[in-house]
Amino acid sequence: MPVRIYHNPRCSKSRHALQLLQERGLQPEIIEYLKTPPSTDELRHILTLLGMQPRALMRRTERAYSEAGLADPSLDDAALIQAMVDHPILIERPIVLARGKAALGRPPKNVLEIV
């Protein structure tokens, strides 16, 4: 499995994580997730690898979060995952996948733990 980064080039943390990977000679597959969002199954897989619940991977300060009423504690995982698929801006970034593992690049150096 190649190294893959779910990347937003407008995000400084995402750019920094990508730079750290490249400085180590890695040329990851770059997925600009705002243009090509992960599917529901891909997002479930990523959450499993991260060991996170859906809400923990959500950017709760985004307007889409409040507009969609996602703070509602009665929403189940399926609803939250679908919201991230429908509004990928809600997905925290960057996420790196490598060697059957995943890391959230907050801070960016976290991605080095799996490569």
Tens digits of residue pLDDT in 20-31: 999 999 999 999
- State percent of the chain over pLDDT 90: 98
13's CB contacts (< 8 A; 6+ apart) are 93, 94, 105, 106, 107, 108
Does residue 1 carry a pLDDT above 90?
no
Q: Which residues are catalytic?
A: 11
Does residue 115 carry a pLDDT above 80?
yes
CATH of domain 4-113: 3.40.30.10
- The first and second tokens of residue 57, run together, are 């991977």
65's CB contacts (< 8 A; 6+ apart) are 58, 59, 71, 90
Q: Among positive and negative, which fits the CA dihedral 83, 106, 28, 52?
A: negative
The predicted model scores a pTM of 0.94
